[in-house]
Amino acid sequence: MEILKYKNKVVYEKYLLPISPQFKDIKFENKHLENFLKEKKIKLYSHQAEAINLIKDNKNVVITTPTASGKSYIYIFSILEKLVKNPYSTSIILFPLKALARDQYGKILDLINEIGLDATVEVYDGDTPKEKRRQIKQNPPNFLITTPDMLNVGILPYHTTWSSFFENLDFVVLDEIHSYRGIIGSHICNIIKRLKRITAFYKSKKPIFITNSATIHNPEKFASKLIGEKVVEVSKSGAGSPPKVIQIYQNMRTLEVADLIAENIIKDISTIVFVDSRKESELLSLRVKDTLIKKGREDLIDKVSPYRSGYTPEERREIEFKAITRNILALISTSALEMGIDIGDLECCILVGYPGTLAQLWQRFGRAGRRNKKAYNILIPKRNALDQYFVKNPEELFQRQMEEPIINPYNKHILRKHIPVMANELPIKLQELTEEEKEVARQLFKEKKIRFYNNKLYASKQQPFSIRSAGQSYKIVETVKNKIIGDISEDILLYEAHPGAIYLHNGEKFAVEHIDQKEKTIYVVKTSVSYITEPLKESFIDVIEIEDSKNLGSIELFKGKVNVKTSVLGYTLRDLERDEKLNEIFFSEEEILTREFETEGFWFAMPESWEKYIINANFRYNIRLLKSFLLEKDKETPGFFVYKDLAFENLRLFIEKEDFDYLEIALKAINPFLNKLSEKDRNRFNDIVKRIRERRKSFIGALHGVEHSLIGIYPLFAMNDRWDIGGISTNFSPDTNKPTIYIYDGYEGGVGYAEVGFYRLKEMMESVYKNISKCKCSGGCPSCIFSPKCGNSNDYLDKTASIFLSHKILKSLY
């Protein structure tokens, strides 16, 4: 298999040699298991044997070996081994996704049947019928497969009906813990604390925790924080690896990406394509189908399918089955297929955009070549700062330190949800609570949401809540059929499902008609418009409390609590085919949507004198740039620059007297020559002239550009997603009385992302400066200072001033 089309777009290629496996012998007391391994001539990898031995010694473990290294066998064999001593031994196996849980259920059941053991396996999740749930509680299985969501709302609050299960609970397995970062990880930390309390109520011995993860920085520390117990790391893999070709493509248009996928389908190359959002999954799938039709291969359009959250279980399973049986050859997926759901042998993995973290990149690349076949791993960067950072520094994909997941289990908005549930499950003794939890409990007591009696906290039964966001979830209902087609959290509702927005589901477009805030429902109607929508927004920030501060050279750095107010003022219509802005629609005052929340932030102020320095330095630099540009083009096209002397004389007078009349005369003299140049050169010229004309705005443009670039490269350090943080910049802040850049957590109460910036600003600014200064664009682009989240439509940005400012900040930090 060779992928040759668009070979000219490959800007980086690396061949990874195959790795030979390393094995290690291990003895099992379970004779059925021991005989099975001997008969099948199955040898355990060295890391599998190491982890199983640690578990036998009652150690909690975190296993961080690569995708397809057999991590699941570690917990399966450990649980089966325990059944020799206690046939009633139970375990909870937690998967982040229902689809992954169902997939692993089939694998575990098949393995148990093959070994010939009398062990039981059940799935208990939102799709389990009521009668089946009752049977599972009455006859608890050895393997209970579920999700953190179901553990939160359907098991722990009803623990009295699971008493025999908890009395025999020996293992808690958490798979894919690298995905438990941010809000969901902060929730899960509290769920595990509740699980441990309930288990301690039924038995004295703690269960052993077995955790699996993609490669991350400091996994031992993260896993320990997540489960609240000491953990031993197993990271040296004994698994073999097939040969891999890693490629980075550049300047691929969306239609070219669709064409590349279509060619793979035509050549019968099984491919998985990862994209950033549900919307993107649907759009790219549509484009691939259109491309196949244009190529005269309408017979293959069913060979491509989107795959994302929001589908029914039946839809998901049908897609997975079609992929395994090769009735689907190209899956366009969000992170939903990043983990180990079985979708058959894959020969190619394409990432449309850097996924945000190195852990996710290598996890996704691991999906291809899993059966010792040569794998093609292709990264198609987008034009944003983070993606382009790896185009400019490709070796960092292999050399850069992995990111560390960030969680904040003490977020008071998260604690407000868990403490009443905890008090309802079992009364809480005050000594069980941390100081942060006591503070929240006091507030809940004042609000009469918990009761205090006999030195314990009590609560009535609580309403279920989502652990996938800090806020609430909204249903999306198609008005004509009155059918629920999806859901969305209130954190992103403002941006993706505001009135007038085009919402995409299963390859179809729906226009948002109305939001019922009381019923938490969004009403949509099917439409065939040829555009999508992007929100226009503005944000304001106020400092509530400074928790820490320090001076680094001329920079004053702070972190603390902030209040953020964001309003969506309207939206932009963007043409799907040409990717061009068609129109801007603004809401009336009554229609404006606003979200206000308290969160954590960090901010840094710089001297007022820098404004004058940046304006002057940027002005002088752009004049020099203009002169050198004109001289360079005059040499390339001799004889065409007729009014050259007049132009340069007036430029000299303009610099000397700073009278813009001289600049206008110079530009008139240049204009006839400009018409002889290419469109690219004319655009470059116009960018330079714009910066000269708007010299007084250059400092604001520099602050705005550095803010955008800082947010763009932030996931290199904090393992955050695009919507997890926000930023605001101003040339005068009432909080500092100086020019200031603010970065804040996008979730109520904060998760811990801002804290990373406070402690690692120097490293971040190195990446910011490197990213902007290495970018080849003339006036700024998504690769350096443009942001897809910008509420000002990327106006008020100055690239060269951003280079000057980022360099000045960096110098001050050293």
pLDDT tens sequence across 193-210? 999 999 999 999 999 999
Domains of the chain: 7-12+242-382 (3.40.50.300), 19-234 (3.40.50.300), 412-458 (no CATH), 609-695 (no CATH)
SS3 645: helix
Burial of 207 (0-12, 13-18, 19+ CB in 10 A): buried
pLDDT for res 342: 66
- In this predicted structure, the answer to whether residue 578 has a pLDDT above a threshold of 80 is no
Task: Tell me the one-letter amino acid at 266.
Answer: I
Question: Do 14 and 246 touch, CB atoms closer than 8 A?
Answer: yes
Nearest to 65 by CA among 111, 15, 19: 19
| Pair of tokens at residue 519 | 């019923």
When the pLDDT of each residue in the chain is averaged and rounded to a whole number, the result is 90
Span of 32-36, 246-250, 784-788 with lowest mean pLDDT: 784-788
Average pLDDT over residues 400-409: 86
pLDDT for res 339: 67
pLDDT for res 492: 78
The contacts of residue 409 (CB under 8 Å, 6+ apart) are: 186, 189, 190, 193, 225, 415
Is residue 656 left, alpha or beta, with left meaning phi > 0 and alpha meaning psi from -120 to 50?
Answer: alpha
Greater confidence (783 vs 336) lies with: 783
Greater confidence (670 vs 316) lies with: 670
Question: Do 725 and 755 touch, CB atoms closer than 8 A?
Answer: no
Span of 412-421, 460-469, 597-606, 701-710 with lowest mean pLDDT: 460-469
pLDDT for res 512: 94
- In this predicted structure, the answer to whether residue 802 has a pLDDT above a threshold of 90 is yes
Q: What is the pLDDT of residues 73-109, one digit of tens each?
A: 999 999 999 999 999 999 999 998 877 788 788 889 9
pLDDT for res 279: 78
Measured in residues, the chain has a length of 814
Please, how many CA atoms are within 13 Å of residue 526, restricted to the half-sphere of its CB? 11
237-241, 702-706, 716-720, range with greatest mean pLDDT:
702-706
Nearest to 708 by CA among 356, 491, 403, 385: 385
Model confidence band, residue 351 (pLDDT cutoffs 50, 70, 90): very high
pLDDT for res 766: 94
Sign of the torsion angle spanned by Cα atoms 729, 732, 736, 739 = positive
Average pLDDT over residues 212-219: 88
SS3 617: helix
Please, how many CA atoms are within 13 Å of residue 84, restricted to the half-sphere of its CB? 13
pLDDT for res 579: 64
pLDDT for res 319: 85
- In this predicted structure, the answer to whether residue 469 has a pLDDT above a threshold of 70 is no
As a three-state string, the secondary structure of 515-533 is: EECCCCEEEEEEECCCEEE
Instruction: Report the distance separating Cα 120 and Cα 548, nearest Å.
Output: 53
pLDDT for res 734: 95
Average pLDDT over residues 407-419: 92
Average pLDDT over residues 610-625: 94
Span of 379-383, 470-474, 563-567 with lowest mean pLDDT: 470-474
H or E element that contains 122:
strand 121-123
Nearest to 246 by CA among 364, 399, 396, 376: 376
The contacts of residue 152 (CB under 8 Å, 6+ apart) are: 187, 191, 464, 465, 467
H or E element that contains 134:
helix 130-138
Termini Cα distance of the chain = 50
β-strand partners of 212? 63
Pairing of strands 456-458, 428-429: antiparallel
Q: What is the pLDDT of residues 114-147, one digit of tens each?
A: 998 889 999 999 889 999 999 999 999 999 999 9
Q: What is the pLDDT of residues 718-768, one digit of tens each?
A: 888 767 899 999 999 999 999 999 999 988 889 899 999 999 999 999 999
SS3 456: strand
Question: Do 716 and 389 touch, CB atoms closer than 8 A?
Answer: yes
Model confidence band, residue 508 (pLDDT cutoffs 50, 70, 90): confident
- In this predicted structure, the answer to whether residue 1 has a pLDDT above a threshold of 60 is no
Model confidence band, residue 4 (pLDDT cutoffs 50, 70, 90): low
Average pLDDT over residues 657-677: 88
User: What whole-number percentage of the chain has pLDDT above 90?
Assistant: 61
What number of other Cβ atoms are within 10 A of residue 4's Cβ? 7
pLDDT for res 470: 63
Place of tokens 């932009």: 572
| Pair of tokens at residue 61 | 């473990």
Question: Do 489 and 472 touch, CB atoms closer than 8 A?
Answer: yes
H or E element that contains 192:
helix 182-202
| Pair of tokens at residue 392 | 């400019």
What's the predicted TM-score (pTM) here?
A: 0.80
Average pLDDT over residues 492-499: 85
pLDDT for res 371: 61
Nearest to 8 by CA among 241, 256, 284, 297: 256
Burial of 716 (0-12, 13-18, 19+ CB in 10 A): buried
Pairing of strands 521-527, 90-94: unpaired
Average pLDDT over residues 341-366: 85
Output DSSP code: residue 45.
Answer: B
At residue 74's C-alpha, the angle toward residues 142 and 145, to 5°, is 35
Average pLDDT over residues 171-190: 93
Model confidence band, residue 246 (pLDDT cutoffs 50, 70, 90): very high
Q: What is the pLDDT of residues 247-268, one digit of tens each?
A: 999 889 999 999 999 999 999 9
